[in-house]
Each structure stands twice: as structure tokens, then as C-alpha cells.
Structure 1
Amino acid sequence: MSASLDQQSTINPDSRVRSPGRAIAVLASCGLLVSLVQTMVVPLLPAFPRLMSVSTSTAAWLVTATLVSGAVSAPVFGRLGDMYGKRRMLLISIGLILVGSVLGAIAPNILVLLIGRTLQGVSFGVVALGMSLMRDILPEERIGSAVGMMSASVGAGGAIGLPIAGAVSEWTDWRWLFAGAAVVAMLQIVLVRRLVAESPLRSGGRFDGAGAAGLGGILVCLLLGISKGADWGWLSPTVILLFVGAALMFAIWMNWELRAASPIVDLRVSARPAVLRTNLATVLIGFSMFATFVLATQILQAPVVTGYGFGLSLIVSGLALLPLGGCMVVFSSTSARMSRIYGPRLTLVFGTGLMAVGNIGFALLPGSVWILVAVATVGAIGGALAYSALPLLIMSAVPVTETAAANSLNTLMRQLGNSTCTSVAAAVTSALVVDAHGASFPSGTAYSVVFTIAAVTAVGALAVGLLTPARRDDGGSL
């Protein structure tokens, strides 16, 4: 780290925002926009082949395109935020989401709709930029609770967004979902411009275009292989070539980044034990937590004759899971207090323990809706604690001038865990099926297997959390 950056590592208290409450509310609400964008097409995936006159595999790209574009754009916008201003990049990101939402609302065909979803994928970097901005402009005593609230807002928004998306898709035209996202994005732009100050910190340097392109190529190959492996076949030539290509590009990219003067990802910082282990824990947590979001509604909607389902409608099943969102909001503040008193590492350990308990409860296939909701709520509380602790661990272990890039990379690790969970769940539930009402449904054993794997990954995250250094490598307190 150069001396110039070290001299910028202390934030001037006079530069912090004068109205922190309004800034926190605006930035935390950005998580709701992210949740809306990520969940809005999920209830409609079975209907899009009919609505857009395309195949099921083509319609699945409405999720894949967003995942890949978000994974590529998140670290790039994070690095640009450190260099040129986090608020500026946040506004640009939301602006691209607005454009993508408008395109989705007016899309005459699947191509335009896919372009809109690709632009909406930029939302993956919004939360990381917002958290990093919080560190720069908020009073120190407010940072922990603000970061926890923003992290929890993503999960809470997902719990709220699914029933809303289900209701819209059932009672009106699907294009209103995209129109609603456009309105929310427009409102966010106005609020951020009026109520959120720009960070005074800049890392400087030149943008690493070659590093960004290399990272993008790696992520495209890796995430396409993971997300489409179940459909294309894990041993198919295409998937194997994608994984081999990702490995070869990673070796070349890593050599380039280690020699670059201003790398897109500072591998030396990322290799610090506190950062490396936190990112590893994030992948495992992303897998463990996403199992509930992917499978809980499927269990609630499955016919009773399957032996595990409850036969609820899409809207009712979404409403049944609303307590998850409420608990994530409430326990985000609890997470901040725990992290302030005991340190974010112990908060992470406690949260992952609760996630393991919740997934074990799911693996036992609860016999009533209320028990299922209780089990899911335990896991959601654990997720709120863990997700709120992760950015605090990251920000305590990296230079102040690299927080946006580091948080964006951590967000990418979460998405990697999510996409891996989706692929594993798809592979298991398609392999283990049961016939009911003349149709095939995943068997109860399939769900038990997936949730057992999710419980194991939560225990793995707990173990990694215990091994994560409690202090910064340079001796700073956590």
C-alpha cells in the first residue's frame, strides 16, 4: 500500500454527513430495490415460455443473465467507486437499473426483455457501494447498525417481494412488475441525490481495464457452468470447457493483477486471513441461506399427496413467509449491538449456528405450516446476524480507500453461494421425484438432502468464522 493511500486511511470527522438518520434510511432502502429486481421474475418463470412464445430454457436466461451481469459489474463498480466516488457510482448503477426496468416494461420480445434483465443485474453492486458509503459519511457509532440494516433489507425485501410479485402476476399484467421497479429506481435516484453526501475518499490510480475484462471472462465461464450445469449436464463438453476456461483465465488474471499498479482486485489484501476467510464464509452462508428462499415456497405449494407439501397458492405461501423479512429487519439492529460488544466474528459464529439449526429443521420436513414458518424464521434470524457481520469484518480488514471494491467482491462471493445452491437444488430435486396427480414433483427425500447439505455448509461457515482472525493483520482492532 502506497504512502499516499495510507495518509488517506483516516476519515476526517468533519466530512461526515450532518443528518445520518435520513442517509441511513435512504441507503438501506436501496436493498429493497435490489430485492425487487432479483425476485420479480421468479414467480413468472413457469409462465414466460407462454407469455413470450419461447422455450423453457430460453426463459431461464431471465435469471441467468441477471446473475452473470451482476457478478461482472459488482467488482467493477466497486473499484470505480473507490476511484471516482461511491455516491456517483451508486447513482449510475441505479440509473442503469431504471433503464433496464423501463426496457422490461415495454419489451416487445424476449431479446429486449433479456437486455433489460441484464441491465437490472447491476443491482448486485448497489448494496456494496451503499455499505462502503456508510462507512465514509456516517458517525462511527452509527456504522454498525446502518450496515446491518442495509444488509438485512435485502433479505427482508425478498420476503416481501415474492408475495407482491405473485399477486401482480396473478391479478394483472406482468409488465407492471418492471414498471414498479422503474418507479422505485427513479425515487431512489432523487433521494440519494438530495439526502446522501458523497464520500471524500478517493483511491486514485488508473482503472485496470485488462483486469476487469479478465475478471469478467472468469465469472461468465464460472457462473454459466454453475447455473446451467444441471440443464446442460455436468459432464457435458460445454460445461467442462467453461470450467477449464475459467481456471486457465484465473491463472493468467492472477499473474496480471499481482503486477498491476492499480489492480481491479488487490490480491494481496484479499489474501489477508481475515479477508480470505470471511469471503469463504460468505460463499458457504450464501448457499445455506438461499436454500430457504429457493425451496420453502416450493414445499408450501406442493400438493398434500406428496407427503410433505401443503397445497398453498403462490400468494398465500409468500404471505406465510413474511415473518422472515420482519425478523431480518429486527435482528439487524441486534447484530449491530452484538458486534459492537462482542465483535463481528462472534456474531457471525452465532448466526451461522442458527442457520444450521434452521436447515436441520427443514431437512426433517415439518408437518405443519406453523412449524415450517418457525424453522424458517430461526434460519432467517441467523442469516440476519451473519449477513450483518460480514461487511463489518471486511471493512475492518481492508484500507478505507478500498472498501467499495472489497465489499463488492464479498457481494460476489454471496452470489456465488446463491447460484451454487440453486444448481445443487435443481440437480437433486430433478433426480429424486415422486408422482402426484399425474405430474412429477421433487420427493421429500430430495428436500431433505438439499437442506442437509445447507446445514453442513452453515457448520462449515461457523468453523471458518472461528478460524477468522479477531484482529486486523496490521494490529488494528476489529
Structure 2
Amino acid sequence: METWKKNLVVLWIGTLIVSASFSMVVPFLPLFLLQIGVHHYVETWSGLLYSIAFFGGAVSAPYWGSLADRYGRKPMIIRAGFVLFATYSLTAFVHNPYELLAIRLAQGLLSGYIPNSIALIGTNTPESRVGFALSMVSAAGAAGGILGPLLGGALANWFSNRIAFGSAGVLVLIATMLALLWVKEEKFVPSQTRVSIWSTFRDAGHNRQLLTALSLNLFTSFSIMTIEPVITLYIAQLNHSTANASLVSGIVFSLTGIASVLFAPFWGRTSDRIGFRTVLLFGLVGGTVWTFMQLPFHNVYAFSAVRFLYGAFFCAVYPAINGLIVKSTESEFRGRAFGLNQTANQLGNMAGPLVGGVVASATSIHGVFWVTGVLLMIVTGFTYFFTRSRSMRDRPTHGHLIPVHKESK
């Protein structure tokens, strides 16, 4: 088997496991807060717990990206995997929200398994197959999004959330060992100069296409994360009971993942044919429409069906953004580019839950759906108007990448 295919298989499995572990823990934090005695401002606490990890990631990602360009993406994958193993395992032992907040901050500061996996695959895959490879990684993340809530919800229902969190840590350890033993980074050219955070931002500032892709990631992440802190609570409302709330929420969360697994390969092949920009617009338009369509339904079955349709379109978005980043950077800048991409993603992920939690507390959970839909409409317009340059409209290049500014070489 060719090395790039072997890497894709191993990191597909690893991404699936890490994504599953994430969704075994994070969607159930609002319910876990109730179990450890938090009964006031639960929505606000939920938003804070989501946001603090993303804040840590936003601060640290450029640093880890510069180390990835200097020492390789594989060492960063291994480092992040061991950190996630430790933080998920420690989550099983917390007894108050402040301990949980500290662990979530540490997780954000030190993680990065999936972003570095994307960078490694984007660099070590033939250009004609980049769209397909990135979509497969996205499908792995979506598959983890299916298995994680189901497994986490079932373990929480049969045993406890603590058992589910500890199990997530063990699974991440398995993914880390797989990468350690079988991933091989062939096309790695170490940076010849000492890279600073300032020079990373300076070089990125000269690359308009990269800045556009980073902005899209930030605004998209902010938009969709406004609903994340409260959606589990909303599902419990639709179910008219908190009994078995973790299990029901896990099933509903998994439907979006199922749609992503089914449709992500289609969007990946389509992006290799017609370009990342067009696929990105399809995904954003569909995501906007089906976000609004979640508003009229007030039973868990109809809501679940709409969430599935939402996932079928929105799964096109992040692989397309990642493809634009691969297309707009040279390989020796790729680690830093995806470090900045993670920063943009984490900033959006940090701000979105805070806004969503405040909106839900001030109005209602339905109010958050309106805010999310309007924000996605704005992002769609931004994408249409700011990606109209010829280079961003062209189909993916085969064998040539648009370089960063000459000063960065």
C-alpha cells in the first residue's frame, strides 16, 4: 500500500476515535453540570465550558503549528493524543465546575490531534486526491460524531457520565498508539530558520487567499457554535423529560454524523471536479436553510429528521475550507497555516457558545436558532463576495500550490 494511503487509513481510524471521544464527553457537559450540583445559570456555565477550551486552542495553536513545521506533524499528533488521554481521564474525577473549567482550559492549550492529522494528510497526499482525502477525514470525524454520542449516552445511562469520560480517555490512547506505530511522514521539509509567532502572522498577512479561508473558518465556527451549549437541553425539552436525556441526546446528535458519513465522500469527489469554493457555497446554503427549518418542529422525531438533512449539507463546509488552505499555501508553511486555521476555528468556537448561552438565557433556545441561521446567511454572503478571485474559483490545482508571499521563504 502506498504511504499516503496507509497514512490516510491510520489517521482516518485515529480521527474517528478522537472525534468519538470528544463527543462522548462534550455534548453531555450540560447534563453533567446538573449532576455535580450546578442548578443556577446552567446555560451560561455550559457556554463557558465550551468556550474555555477553544480559547486555549486559539492562543496556543500558532505555537504548535510553528513546531510542526520545524519538527514534523507526526510528533504534534502524538503529543496532542497523550494530552487528550490525560484530560478526558481527569474529567471523570471532577466534583465542581471550577475543576472542570481548569481541565477544559488545559485541553485547549495542549491539544491538536485532528488539525495536525489534516495537515499531514494535506501535505502527503497527491494533489489530485487532496479533496477526496480531506473529505474522508471529515467523514471519519462525522463517524466519530455518530459513535461518540451513542456510546457516551449509553455508558452514562447504564453506568455514569464519569465512566463515559474515563472510557473516552482510553480510546484516545489507542488512537495515539496507532499513529505512533504506523503513520509515516514522507514529504516533510523542516523549516530552515527559527520560526516565530510574529513571522507566522506576518507571512499569513501577505497571503490574501489564506486570510479569506481563515476568516471563513472563524465566522462559520462562531455561527454554528452558538447553538451547541443548549442543544442538549433543547432535546431534553422536546422529549418532555430529563429521564434518559443523555441517551436520547446521543441518538439525535448521531443523526447529523450519519448524514456526514454518507455525504462527505460525495462532496469530496465533487470538490475535486468543480472546486472547493462551489462546494463550500452549496454546504453553507444548505446549512442555513436547514438551520431555519429546525424552528417549526416541536417534537424530537421531526427535529431529528431536520438535523439529518442539515448534516447532509453542512458536512461539505469544513473540508472545502481545508482544501482552500491547502491550495493557497506551500508545503513548508502548511503546519503554520493549519495552526492559524485552528486558531481561527477555536476563536469562533470560543465566542459562539458564549453568545449562544447569553441569548438563550435572555430570550429562549428558539432565539438561538434564529441567531444561528442569520449568522450562517451572513457567512454565505461573505463567501460568495470574497472568494470571487480567479484563483479561488478555479478547480483544485494538480501539482501546483499558490505560494505564500516571497518574504516567507
| Structure 2 length-normalised TM | 0.83
- The secondary structure found in structure 2 opposite 1:45 is helix
Deviation digits for residues 49-70 of structure 1, max 9, x if unmatched?
A: 6537898689656444422222
Q: Using a 3 Å threshold, how does the CA distance of structure 1 residues 86 and 477 change in structure 2: closer, same or farther? A: closer
Contact kept, 8 Å, 2:58 with 2:343, in 1: the verdict is yes
Choose the corresponding residue for 2:14, options 30, 45, 48: 30
**Separation in 1, partners of 2:253, 2:23:** 17
1:83 corresponds to 2:18? no
1:142 corresponds to 2:126? no
Partner of 1:298: 233
Matches within 5 A, 1:190-229: 190-199=177-186, 200-208=188-196, 211=197
**Separation in 2, partners of 1:345, 1:279:** 14
Partner of 1:278: 213
Corresponding letter in the other structure for 2:82: G
Matches within 5 A, 1:34-73: 34=19, 36-37=21-22, 40-48=25-33, 51=36, 62-73=49-60
1:340 corresponds to 2:272? yes
Partner of 2:304: 373
Once the two structures are TM-superposed, the CA of residue 29 in structure 1 deviates from its matched residue by 3.1
Task: Answer 1 or 2: higher relative contact order, Cα 8 Å, separation at least 6.
Answer: 2
Once the two structures are TM-superposed, the CA of residue 472 in structure 1 deviates from its matched residue by 9.8
Partner of 1:457: 378
- The secondary structure found in structure 2 opposite 1:278 is helix
**Separation in 2, partners of 1:99, 1:23:** 25
**Separation in 1, partners of 2:305, 2:245:** 19
Corresponding letter in the other structure for 1:276: L
Partner of 1:216: none
Once the two structures are TM-superposed, the CA of residue 341 in structure 1 deviates from its matched residue by 0.6
1:320 corresponds to 2:307? no
Contact kept, 8 Å, 1:37 with 1:123, in 2: the verdict is no
Once the two structures are TM-superposed, the CA of residue 398 in structure 1 deviates from its matched residue by 1.1
Corresponding letter in the other structure for 1:279: L
Q: Which stretch has the larger CA shift, 331-340 or 411-420? A: 411-420
**Separation in 1, partners of 2:258, 2:35:** 35
**Separation in 2, partners of 1:449, 1:53:** 27
| Structure 1 length-normalised TM | 0.72
Matches within 5 A, 1:354-369: 354-362=286-294, 364-369=295-300
- The secondary structure found in structure 1 opposite 2:194 is coil
Corresponding letter in the other structure for 1:100: T
- The secondary structure found in structure 2 opposite 1:366 is coil
Q: Using a 3 Å threshold, how does the CA distance of structure 1 residues 160 and 294 change in structure 2: closer, same or farther? A: farther
1:100 corresponds to 2:113? no
**Separation in 1, partners of 2:13, 2:171:** 10
Q: Which stretch has the larger CA shift, 159-168 or 274-283? A: 159-168
Q: Which stretch has the larger CA shift, 404-413 or 312-321? A: 312-321
Partner of 1:268: 203
**Separation in 1, partners of 2:269, 2:207:** 26
Choose the corresponding residue for 1:161, options 138, 148, 168: 148
Contact kept, 8 Å, 1:74 with 1:408, in 2: the verdict is yes
Once the two structures are TM-superposed, the CA of residue 391 in structure 1 deviates from its matched residue by 0.9
Q: Using a 3 Å threshold, how does the CA distance of structure 1 residues 276 and 333 change in structure 2: closer, same or farther? A: same
Partner of 1:178: 165
Partner of 1:470: 391
Corresponding letter in the other structure for 1:290: M
**Separation in 2, partners of 1:428, 1:65:** 18
Once the two structures are TM-superposed, the CA of residue 453 in structure 1 deviates from its matched residue by 2.3
Q: Using a 3 Å threshold, how does the CA distance of structure 1 residues 157 and 458 change in structure 2: closer, same or farther? A: farther
Corresponding letter in the other structure for 1:463: Y
Contact kept, 8 Å, 1:353 with 1:462, in 2: the verdict is no
Once the two structures are TM-superposed, the CA of residue 451 in structure 1 deviates from its matched residue by 3.7
Instruction: Structure 2 unaligned segments of length 5 or more: list them.
Output: 403-409
Q: Using a 3 Å threshold, how does the CA distance of structure 1 residues 118 and 310 change in structure 2: closer, same or farther? A: closer
Corresponding letter in the other structure for 2:79: I
Contact kept, 8 Å, 1:65 with 1:118, in 2: the verdict is yes
Contact kept, 8 Å, 2:58 with 2:345, in 1: the verdict is no
Q: Using a 3 Å threshold, how does the CA distance of structure 1 residues 320 and 65 change in structure 2: closer, same or farther? A: closer
State the number of aligned residues: 394
Corresponding letter in the other structure for 1:283: L
Q: Which stretch has the larger CA shift, 105-114 or 399-408? A: 105-114
Corresponding letter in the other structure for 2:59: V
1:397 corresponds to 2:332? no
Instruction: Structure 1 unaligned segments of length 5 or more: list them.
Output: 1-16, 212-256, 258-262, 433-441
**Separation in 2, partners of 1:56, 1:159:** 29
Contact kept, 8 Å, 2:10 with 2:179, in 1: the verdict is yes
